Amino acid sequence: MTLPATAPRDPLTLEVVQLIGAVVGRYHEEYERAASAHALTGAQARVLSLLSLGPLPMRRLARTLKCEPSNVTGIIDRLETRGLVERRADPDDRRVKLAAATHEGLRLARGLRDGLDFAREPLADLSREERLVLRGLLRRMLGEDVATAQDGSGTVRED
């Protein structure tokens, strides 16, 4: 994302950007550690996490991960060998292959999610109101409509 020429470049903005980068870096470090504890790469853990929300077409996985479809094929191959995912024909278009987490894959995805304390612990120090404000600001930064932002299941959340 390219910043417009009029974007503020004052010390406060630069510090906020640096802090966001530090949070993202720490999150990725912990995510890699959690994945490693389950003998997964970070990419495999991300795919498993996405599939825990429901089956997805291989091409959509590639777009979401911002990688080539052939990379996703290799990741799915390795996860399938471990019994964590399976390939299915899309019931709406049999030419499309869906990747879906197995019961074991869902169990492992839950374990990964439950093992990520970095984000939970600092957020626990914030009040519910502060977390709502932070969520709204982050959604606004990402260009999402705060009033009608959806969760992964398509349900509108306005809490």
pLDDT digits (tens, 9 = 90+) for 2-21: 555 666 788 999 999 999 99
Among 27-36, 78-87, 121-130, top mean pLDDT goes to: 78-87
CB-based contact 35:44 (threshold 8 Å): yes
Q: Kindly report the number of other CB atoms within 10 A of residue 57's CB atom.
A: 16
Q: What is the pTM of this model?
A: 0.72
pLDDT at 97 over 80: yes
DSSP 3-state of 102: coil
DSSP 3-state of 106: helix
Closest by CA position to 147, among listed 131, 155, 159, 133 = 159
Closest by CA position to 13, among listed 21, 1, 125 = 21
DSSP 3-state of 114: helix
**pLDDT of res. 9:** 82
**pLDDT of res. 54:** 96
**pLDDT of res. 147:** 55
Give me 145's structure tokens: 């409509």
CB-based contact 101:85 (threshold 8 Å): yes
Q: Which residue has the higher pLDDT, 123 or 150?
A: 123
